[in-house]
Amino acid sequence: MDTRLKGDFTLPGEAGYEKLTLELAEKWGADVIRDSDGTKLSPEIAEAGYRIYSTICIIREHNAFAAAHPDAQQQCFLSSDPVTAEGEVLEISPLQGYFTEQFEVNDTPEALAYWEVRDRTAGCPVPRENWQWADGKVKVSGCTPWHRYTVSFLCWRIWEEINMYNHTTNHWTSEHLRQLDPRHPEAWEYLKGWLENWCRENPQTNVVRLTSLFYNFVWIFGEDLRRRTRFVDWGSYDFTVSPAALKAFEAEYGYALTAEDFIHQGRLQATHRIPTAHKRDYMDFIQRFVAEKAKVLVEIIHKYGKQAYVFYDDSWVGMEPWGRYFASVGFDGLIKCVFSGFECRLCAGAEAPVHELRFHPYLFPVGLGGLPTFMEGGHPEKDAMDYWLHVRRALLRQTVDRIGLGGYLHLTLDQPAFVETIARMADEFRRIKALHGEGAPAELPVRVAVVHTWGSLRSWTLSGHFHETDANILIHINEALSGLPVSVKFIDFAQAKSGALADCDVLINAGRAGDAWSGGDAWKDPELQAAVTRFVHDGGCLIGAGEPTAAEGGDTFLALAGLFGVDVDDGAYACHMPWSFETEAAPFEVCREALTPKPGVRVIDPETKVWAAEGDTPTMTCRTFGKGKAVYLSGFRYSPAAAAMLLRLLRSVTGCSGEAAAVSADSRVECAWFPASHALVLLNNAEEPVTAEITWPEGKKAFALEPLETRFV
């Protein structure tokens, strides 16, 4: 590469490594230097002419205030594990089994009013007069012997969870950091004053990098190391709860939430599950609260002539970038850490002036999964390249404005390969961004809508990173879509019923029966079934994966089994024989490795074409209905080859020739055509050299690519 672009790169500086900081800033073309959790910038760095980002975790690092105002700490509901009554009385220690360094019972009168004892066997609450809290135990009387009882209770969260995680993982010995609830009036006043003061005292800072806002995602530790993490849900709102929040909710909504709205039989309404109406109300309530408070902070920051960027992770809850209140906060930038392509699209597509990606690996001895990165046994350059392979294909479709790294810069000292890899990656990013600047890349005329319970609120992501959700088929599909030259939107079921299908060619529903992604009870709705049936009849394509459209109580397991011509036997097909079938060649090359077989899948219509099968189990089928098609995939596992197959499938079912954009004849190579620049970008996803024939609006040619190469033509 001859012409090296510069800038759009955020470098983590480190005091004590001033020379290294400035060298790498030059090498990687940085225009911004930031601090990180655990690092500081020295004046030498801060005054070197770079823009400066400073990281603030607004609710943390106020232990003195927390000690003086313990009631300003954050809270949550927990449920004891069920205890079986052997007689008519029973004692339950609510916190038993929970990590007592994280939680402390909140038995203030206003909290106790929300406590609840439940008979889980009978599925009903125990009357208040039948239990009392004394001596650290809940004593229940009038029990039905052999029923199981639980106590739902409020507790203080006395250890900020990210700090707790770092402590327990890395054996830190520093003070446990606490966290304040901005809903607490004195805490809120204190936090605003603290931020004003901080801004005053840090004139060199150009950008306050908020990490993030107020409420962390839910992470519940257990005392026993055999189940240290009891529950972790990146999308849960359960750490926003307090009596004050519940009272404010009741005042506004006219009904009271109870412990059971959160505890939900001990299942805690995970994001992957279908939310109750109460939970939806509560989420909206919190989203508005978070946006209002964040707006105040942003205004303070602006008052001091600084910009406010927000990092979307950790204490992000209530601040979904695709949520309806995000734009109202007035952030100047959104920063997203990325492992995957879908995270890139999540960031790039959000409504914010500046979109920045923080790349992985974080400059830290171990990675998120606990494996070595910047220490013996680690290969950070390989990790970086691995993530880049996911991200670059998404950037090709929609770019962000900036990229960067985080962590301890000195860890790169013995990693020349890593330093080179990042340099190359930063250059490639800048070239991709420049192309986008000249004009958008060509897209195929294929409009995809992914439908699930959360709709656009959870565009691209499910609940956290790929590796945290990879048991869900949809994240594999989202990851594949993130790098395809098609248009993609995320809609909910109400939208699917009311016109959102009119401007789409392909509707995707992928999940497990009863989960938020498949949709569960939503599919009981005849209007929804009819809308999708009509969509297909009129020429649309429905792609279902896993247990799409599954709803209880119907005459089939998948509500639209008749449309797919396949169904899943959960036992209800007892004594009914499926149609025998012969596999037919699909009109495109099938990537069998992508199609995880699923026991119980059966053909229920003689017109169903089976495009792939494992033994007696179809793994990919297609049924024509009217002018459209319904395609079923038993599973879908992301890989570049799987993504290439998905593109072939999308083109096949929409009859899209591919003339409008660039198309690769080889599954290992992806490509994009930028018409304004007359530029072609080719990505070799394979670790071997590949010669691939590329067809684009202005030509057709075979290109020989190096392993993993990004080629700008």
Q: Which residues bind a second copy (CB under 8 A)?
A: 82, 84, 86, 120-123, 144-148, 218, 224, 226-227, 229-233, 236, 265-268, 270-273, 463, 512-515, 526, 529-531, 533-534, 537, 552-555, 562, 570-581, 606, 625-626
Number of other CB atoms surrounding residue 334 within 10 Å:
25
Cβ atoms of 216 and 317 closer than 8 Å:
yes
Q: In the complex with a second copy, which residue's Cβ is closer, 421 or 478?
A: 478
**Residue 120 to residues 151, 274, 295: CA-CA distances in angstroms?**
10, 21, 43
Residues 47 and 22: beta-carbon distance below 8 Å: no
Strand-pairing partners, residue 221, are: 229
Dist CA 387 CA 392 (whole Å): 9
Instruction: Dig out the tokens for 636 from the structure.
Output: 């879908």
Strand partners, 210: 56, 310
142 versus 437: smaller Cβ distance to a second copy: 142
According to DSSP H, which parts of 601-673 are helical? Answer: 640-654
What is the phi-psi region of residue 162: left when phi exceeds 0, alpha when psi lies from -120 to 50, beta otherwise?
alpha
Tell how far CA 520 is from the center of its chain.
Answer: 21
Q: Which is nearer to a second copy, 398 or 463 (CB)?
A: 463
Evaluate whether 397 touches 485 at the Cβ level (below 8 Å). Answer: yes
Rounded CA separation 118/128 (Å): 10
**Which letter does DSSP use for residue 583 in this model?**
B
Beta carbon nearer to a second copy, 497 or 651: 497
Q: Do you know the residue count of the chain? A: 713
Sign (positive or negative) of CA dihedral 251, 253, 258, 259: negative
Q: Is the C-alpha dihedral spanning 541, 546, 550, 555 positive or negative? A: positive
* 239 three-state secondary structure: helix
Task: Report the 3 state secondary structure along 282-343.
Answer: HHHHHHHHHHHHHHHHHHHHHHCCCEEEEECCCCCCCCCCCCCCHHHHCCCEEEEEECCHHH
Specify the residue, 303 or 534, whose C-beta has the smaller distance to a second copy: 534
Closest CB 607 distance from a second copy, rounded Å: 11
| CB nearer a second copy, residue 254 or residue 606 | 606
Strand order in the sheet with 699-705: 663-664, 690-696, 699-705
Q: How many CA atoms lie within 13 A of 459 on its CB side?
A: 22
Ramachandran category for residue 136: left, alpha or beta (phi over 0 → left; psi -120 to 50 → alpha): left
516: closest CA among 267, 191, 338? 267
Task: Using CB atoms within 10 Å of the CB of residue 488, give its burial: 0 to 12 exposed, 13 to 18 middle, 19+ buried.
Answer: buried
Q: Which of 60, 62, 56 is nearest to 306 (CA)?
A: 56
Contact call for residues 645 and 401 (beta carbons, < 8 A): no
Q: Which residues are catalytic?
A: 314
Measured between alpha carbons, how far is residue 566 from residues 544, 550, 558, 562, 609 in Å?
A: 10, 12, 8, 7, 10
Return the number of the residue (195 or 528) whose C-beta is nearest a second copy: 528
Q: Give the residue among 383, 211, 451 at the shortest CA–CA distance from 311.
A: 211
Name the residue nearer to a second copy (CB basis): 150 or 459: 150
How many CB atoms are located within 10 Å of the residue 499 CB?
Answer: 9
Q: In the complex, what is the shortest distance from the CB of residue 582 to a second copy, in angstroms, rounded to a whole number?
A: 9
**124 or 702, CB closer to a second copy?**
124
Contact 406, 338 (CB under 8 A): no
> Taking the complex as a whole, how short is the minimal distance between the CB of residue 283 and a second copy, in angstroms?
16
Q: Tell me, what DSSP letter sits at residue 519?
A: -
Nearer to a second copy, 134 or 574 (CB): 574
Nearer to a second copy, 567 or 666 (CB): 567
To the nearest whole angstrom, how small is the minimum distance from the Cβ of residue 167 to a second copy? 19
Angle at 541 between CA 271 and CA 396, to 5 degrees: 70
For residue 93, the minimal CB distance to a second copy (Å) is 15
CB of 597 to a second copy, least distance (A): 12
Least Å distance between CB 119 and a second copy?
A: 8
Q: Which is nearer to a second copy, 55 or 469 (CB)?
A: 469
- Cα–Cα distance for residue pair 446/454, rounded to 1 Å: 23
3-class state of residue 189 by DSSP: helix
Q: Which segments within 416-469 are labelled E, that is strand?
A: 447-451
Beta bridge partners of 298: none
**Cα atoms in the Cβ-side hemisphere of radius 13 Å centred on 430:** 20
Question: Closest CB to a second copy among 316 and 673?
Answer: 316
